[in-house]
Structure 1
């Protein structure tokens, strides 16, 4: 299994009150598997995704990414795990306005310590694969919503991660574009044998995933 989450709970202190967002949830995602997490707003989907991507530590429970436990890692080591092992696709694409499409990808390579012609080759291959070759010198402001999300997919694959985590990737897209973007994520997951989790409200794209898990009141229900 590429991602293993065992008995994960997450609670916050809100004044006098203890708020439990996740309650003893467990999930395993294998290589080449694309899982959708569905649930209403405030059900804990984003918290779940942040914990899966080592952005947030659970209150209790254990996470393993690629067989490596995260519990005892320092902040520096967790940053390295995120850079080497996890690819994030955010809701609004989260592109850097002053970088062109190609440089959005090369920045990830640089942060992960990959430089030179190998990184440029990788970026060129991904942009071609996702139909962005002609847009590589464009800046985010001149891209459509669908193109921005395709850049976000390419960027998430740049560090060759074990896991891809997508947070509401269709939120700002119409039905047709949304379906195409999730189809691309699904294709890349299969082709590159990645484990992927997508948090979504969008039931129209569920035909593209292998498993649907609902999150309600902090519990996972398959």
Structure 2
């Protein structure tokens, strides 16, 4: 199976009885190895719920999430926790770096949680930071970095445990156009070179040309955008 991530007829709602609000309605998605998929849509369209379900943070009311050929439907809380640590990497809009840890330590703590050998972890951290152009910042604290540098470190941290899938939630929200393009370009390159799958929720139309596919989530329905509307 080449699909790293499959969402199979996912539906989700909030509330009880007559006051139920359906935010996802029979959503289907397949993301393959080496593919960066963008999800766009208006505020309140269910993008956060979609990302939480795809990233195994929230259990859907209906349907199943399949990661690397394994359905998560019967996973225990502990199994989901291990899955998030080892198979999933998250990138958040404000980088979410730990303020009292140096750049290198941001990555090493992830490896330690996953039980990675220390020497292997040091080598992987150095390699990722070098590839993402922030190796010279490895002894710096988050407050000493620019916004673009913080997001590059966040990408490196997300890749640290060699996950199958990367989820990015508005990764360019706090960046100007040039830095935002730079960060998504690096993410796309890492996804392809490391054979990952990635899903990025974004409002930033300036970076859509860097994505393999663009999907729109609106009124709980996920549809594919025609390529002609993206590039012209």
TM-score interval (norm. to shorter): over 0.9
Paired residue secondary structure (2:11): strand
CA RMSD of superposed structures (Å): 1.0
* Structure 1 residue 115: Cα displacement: 3.1
Paired residue for 2:23, among 21, 24, 31?
21
The alignment covers a number of residue pairs equal to 222
Q: Which of 115, 138, 141 in structure 2 is aligned with 1:139?
A: 141
Corresponding residue of 2:213: 211
Counterpart Cα distance in 1 of 2:113 and 2:24: 32
Q: Aligned in 2, Cα 1:164/1:18: closer, same or farther, shift over 3 Å?
A: same
Distance 1:23 1:15 in 2: 17
Gaps of 5+ in 2: 225-232
Q: Runs ≥4 in structure 1, deviation > 2 angstroms? A: none
Task: Tell me the TM-score normalised to structure 2 length.
Answer: 0.94
Instruction: Find 2:84's aligned residue among 76, 82, 85.
Output: 82
User: What residue number does 1:168 align with?
Assistant: 170
User: Secondary structure at the residue paired with 1:37?
Assistant: strand
Counterpart residue number, 2:229: none
Calculate the TM-score normalised by the size of structure 1.
0.98
Map 1:36-185 to 2 at 5 A.
36-185=38-187
Post-superposition offset of 1:15: 8.4
Structure 1 equivalent of residue 223 of structure 2: 221
| Equivalent-residue separation in structure 2 for 1:180 and 1:6 (angstroms) | 33
How many Å apart are 1:36 and its aligned residue? 0.4
After TM superposition, the structure 1 stretch with the greater mean CA deviation from structure 2, 93-102 or 13-22, is: 13-22
Q: Which segments of 5 or more consecutive residues in structure 1 lack a partner in the other structure?
A: none
Q: CA–CA distance in 2 between the matches of 1:146 and 1:166? A: 15
Q: Which of the residues 194, 199, 208 maps onto 1:192?
A: 194
Partner SS state of residue 43, structure 1: coil
Pairwise CA distance, 1:57: 0.7
